[in-house]
């Protein structure tokens, strides 16, 4: 499974929403009622913290993630309002998602400005060696790097997260001063529809007016994953999602303008990864060939991330080098595999949480492990190099935001945090420096 489904939690472990409810029940977070039945929560002790001087800034930043959107969908006219925002602001035609091209790691890179070997979040789905189980990286404790959210909090600025997906809500946890408690959640997809998400974002602007708001709009990704017309090039359900989400973004920008916030604002719109479609005859499953091997049998666990497989050696350390060689050889021999890498020897910068070997599939293929029929039946996937290109542009009414500008530089998801930091005039970066670059 690509890990974009309805959550993969260990049996008996609380879900991210269980954790959120417990934070409210124990008084660690306070529920703030907004209009229309919306619920925001705030850290019980955070109100009033930080310097008054910083809190008086009128600058605002809104990071809108159009999950799974492809750059050609913006430039091709399927998102006319996003297109207008793109060409009238500063656009990056060669923008990239970073490995693993999955939702959780790229959202984490946006908010930390560092790569997964420093954040601890390399993929959606990993093998947890301590728990001896595959799980999603959806716990607030999984994210080990400082975020731009917390950096702004410490300066006394208000931050808000409006995240439509359960695992994003989980991994960012209680970091923002205000957090949307999403509802309703579609059980199978584990996400709240964009209509609700954008309403929550707008209500948060009206009620709490955060200096930084981080919003994930999940519909385009969700309808991409499940669109069985995708491999045929029709993408009927996805087109509908694109049109609706485009209108929601316009509604959000209109609100900022009507409230006089736009002239102080920087809006960053980007995707976390792109999307690729495959048919059932283009499925790679590494489990069976791995189990054929006498050395590897019973000692390899595979965390399937749709377009990428992470292979973990669970045998003795003394056998690791030989096992890596065998895993690489077997993976590279499978039809549909684009490449396989010794995780330690690449520039992927994934860190040890990503296992020993990382395999990527070709465009038009997907991984399905362990079962080639049932483990990943969905046609739309990402995580592999075919899904690197993303839309990425900056707009807003603040004078620091360039107008009608086009950069030839390669912007990446990891650039968001340093761009936000520069806009707010934050000096210095995380210890060890940013991995990303400010794009203002
Ligand atoms: Zn995503």
**How far from 31 is each of 175, 190, 196, CA to CA, in Å?**
15, 22, 18
- Annotated domain spans of the chain: 24-44+51-278+386-423, 283-378
The whole-number pLDDT of residue 1 equals 44
CATH number of 24-44+51-278+386-423: 3.40.720.10
Q: How far is the CA of 194 from the centre of ligand 1 (A)?
A: 14
CA proximity to 419, closest of 61, 57, 59: 61
Q: How far is the CA of 34 from the centre of ligand 1 (A)?
A: 27
Q: How far is the CA of 218 from the centre of ligand 1 (A)?
A: 7
Q: How far is the CA of 271 from the centre of ligand 1 (A)?
A: 7
Q: How far is the CA of 103 from the centre of ligand 1 (A)?
A: 4
Query: 269 by DSSP, 3-state: which?
Result: strand
Q: How far is the CA of 381 from the centre of ligand 1 (A)?
A: 10
Q: How far is the CA of 136 from the centre of ligand 1 (A)?
A: 13
Query: Per-residue pLDDT for the chain (440 aa), expressed as one digit of tens each?
Result: 444 444 567 777 888 888 888 888 888 888 887 666 688 888 865 544 555 656 689 999 999 999 999 999 998 888 999 999 999 999 999 999 999 999 999 999 999 999 999 999 999 999 999 999 999 999 999 999 999 999 999 999 999 999 988 899 999 999 999 999 876 665 556 678 888 899 999 999 999 999 999 999 988 888 776 666 655 665 677 888 899 999 999 999 999 999 999 999 999 999 999 999 988 899 999 999 999 999 999 999 999 999 999 999 999 999 999 999 999 999 999 999 999 999 998 889 999 999 999 999 999 999 999 999 999 988 889 999 999 999 999 999 999 999 999 999 999 999 999 999 999 999 889 999 999 999 99
Q: How far is the CA of 111 from the centre of ligand 1 (A)?
A: 15
Q: How far is the CA of 382 from the centre of ligand 1 (A)?
A: 8
Q: How far is the CA of 162 from the centre of ligand 1 (A)?
A: 15
Q: Which CATH number fits domain 283-378: 3.30.420.40, 3.60.10.10, 1.20.1440.230, 3.30.1360.150?
A: 3.30.1360.150
Quick one: tokens of 188? 């199978």
The whole-number pLDDT of residue 241 equals 87
Q: How far is the CA of 57 from the centre of ligand 1 (A)?
A: 32
Which residues sit with Cβ closer than 5 angstroms to ligand 1, an ion?
Answer: 67-68, 103, 221, 272
CA distance 339 to 322: 19
The whole-number pLDDT of residue 231 equals 59
Q: How far is the CA of 401 from the centre of ligand 1 (A)?
A: 26
Q: How far is the CA of 101 from the centre of ligand 1 (A)?
A: 8
The whole-number pLDDT of residue 298 equals 97
Q: How far is the CA of 97 from the centre of ligand 1 (A)?
A: 10
The whole-number pLDDT of residue 228 equals 63
Q: How far is the CA of 66 from the centre of ligand 1 (A)?
A: 8
Q: How far is the CA of 52 from the centre of ligand 1 (A)?
A: 36
Give the length of the chain.
440
The whole-number pLDDT of residue 5 equals 47
CA distance 429 to 147: 10
Q: How far is the CA of 423 from the centre of ligand 1 (A)?
A: 25
The whole-number pLDDT of residue 55 equals 67
CA proximity to 196, closest of 223, 216, 225: 216
Number of helices followed by number of strands (H, E) in the chain:
14, 20
């Amino acid at each position: 499974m690509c890990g974009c489904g309805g959550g993969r939690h260990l049996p008996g472990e609380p879900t991210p929403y269980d954790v959120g409810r417990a934070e409210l029940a124990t008084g660690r977070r306070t529920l703030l009622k907004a209009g229309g039945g919306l619920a925001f929560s705030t850290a019980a002790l955070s109100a009033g913290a930080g310097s008054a001087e910083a809190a008086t800034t009128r600058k605002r930043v809104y990071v809108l993630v159009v999950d799974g959107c492809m750059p050609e969908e913006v430039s091709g006219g399927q998102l006319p309002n996003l297109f207008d925002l793109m060409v009238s602001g500063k656009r990056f035609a060669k923008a990239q998602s970073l490995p693993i091209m999955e939702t959780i790691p790229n959202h984490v890179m946006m908010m930390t400005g560092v790569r997964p070997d420093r954040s601890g979040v390399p993929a959606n789905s990993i093998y947890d060696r301590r728990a001896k189980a595959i799980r999603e990286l959806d716990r607030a404790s999984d994210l080990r790097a400082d975020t731009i959210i917390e950096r702004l909090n410490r300066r006394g600025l208000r931050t808000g997260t409006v995240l439509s997906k359960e695992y994003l809500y989980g991994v960012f946890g209680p970091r923002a001063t205000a957090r949307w408690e999403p509802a309703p959640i579609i059980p199978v997809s584990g996400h709240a529809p964009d209509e609700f998400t954008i309403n929550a974002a707008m209500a948060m602007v009206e009620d709490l007016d955060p200096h930084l708001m981080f919003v994930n709009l999940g519909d385009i990704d969700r309808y991409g994953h499940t669109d069985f017309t995708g491999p045929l090039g029709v993408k009927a359900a996805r087109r509908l999602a694109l049109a609706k989400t485009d209108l929601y973004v316009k509604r959000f920008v209109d609100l900022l303008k009507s409230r006089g916030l736009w002239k102080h604002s920087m809006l960053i719109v980007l995707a976390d990864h792109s999307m690729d479609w495959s048919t059932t005859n283009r499925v790679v499953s590494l489990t069976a060939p791995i189990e054929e091997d006498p050395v590897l049998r019973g000692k390899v666990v595979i965390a399937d991330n749709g377009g990428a497989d992470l292979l973990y050696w669970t045998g003795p350390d003394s056998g690791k080098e030989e096992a890596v060689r065998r895993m690489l050889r077997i993976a590279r021999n499978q039809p549909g595999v684009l490449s396989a890498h010794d995780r330690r020897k690449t520039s992927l910068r994934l860190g040890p949480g990503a296992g020993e070997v990382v395999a990527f599939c070709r465009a038009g293929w997907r991984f399905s492990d362990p079962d080639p029929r049932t483990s990943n039946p969905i046609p739309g996937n990402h995580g592999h190099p075919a899904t690197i290109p993303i839309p990425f542009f900056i707009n807003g009414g603040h004078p620091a935001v360039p107008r009608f500008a086009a950069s030839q530089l390669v912007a990446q998801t990891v650039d968001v945090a340093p761009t936000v930091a520069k806009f707010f005039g934050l000096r210095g970066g995380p210890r060890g420096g940013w991995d990303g670059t400010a794009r203002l």
